[in-house]
Structure 1
Amino acid sequence: MYSVTLLQAAATPQGSMLSMFLPLALIFVIFYIFIIRPQNKKQKETQKMIDALKKGDKIVTIGGIHGTISSTKEQMVIVKVDENTKIEFSRSAIASVITDKAETASDTEKAGAASEEKGEKKSLFGKIKKDNKKAEESSSEK
């Protein structure tokens, strides 16, 4: 009698098929939203960047080599890294293209360093000019 009830309990499913596959489907949706979709977007942006390479672009390779593209081929680019040094790279070895924004930021840093040499100081709210002559006169009077 006891063995018959065990067989009957094992034969009847405890939950429906939907409740078994719902957590699995939910995990797949979460993976798609947080992992697969952003990776596909990044890959498309990288491919656009590689396709848009042209002569004169400043680039950085995967290995960290900075240079300027001197010519392009179908699958290769020739990068000028120094006055007389050119290296041929695969297009897929290009990590990023340096845009004007990065150059503008470095120009801003250079201007900041030049202003510090002139006696100007920068604060969070703008420039504070320091007149060296007035500071010297007041310190010499004391």
Structure 2
Amino acid sequence: MSFTFSLPPPTGYTLHQWFAVLKLATAWEFSDIRTLAMKSMILDKTRVYGIGQWFGIFESCWNLDDYTEPRELAITRVSSLQKWSAMQKINNGRWYCVRQWASTEGLKDLAEAECSGFQTMDLLSLREVISKPCPHCESGDFWCSY
């Protein structure tokens, strides 16, 4: 079932308000409103949202199947805004199952740090992170998607 509407879209919503609209539209299968909410989250150039707002959206939908679009959008925005250390990227990437943060960004940053005087403690910290079981299901797979 699809719901169609012809009202003008609301203006002035915050990122979190649009996400609330997205959640309700998804739950009630209002595809037009869901599309409007996603477009508004992506295209709203009048507001500059910070990492806290995007990370909040990401945390709200990171493990929900119906929210792949806002998840990917939030990952992209968080990636461009975050100022995490290499170890924070690896830890957050592993915890939230975002390979981009852990491998592409985190390990790259660690490799660059190694070239410019890598600290032994960082290497030991990395070994500790990799040797831990999955934080969600306790499997031994570093990249477990549980």
User: Which of the two has higher C-alpha Rg?
Assistant: 1
TM-score, scaled to structure 1: 0.24
> Greater relative contact order: 1 or 2 (C-alpha under 8 angstroms, separation 6 or more)?
2
Structure holding more strand per residue: 1
Structure holding more helix per residue: 2
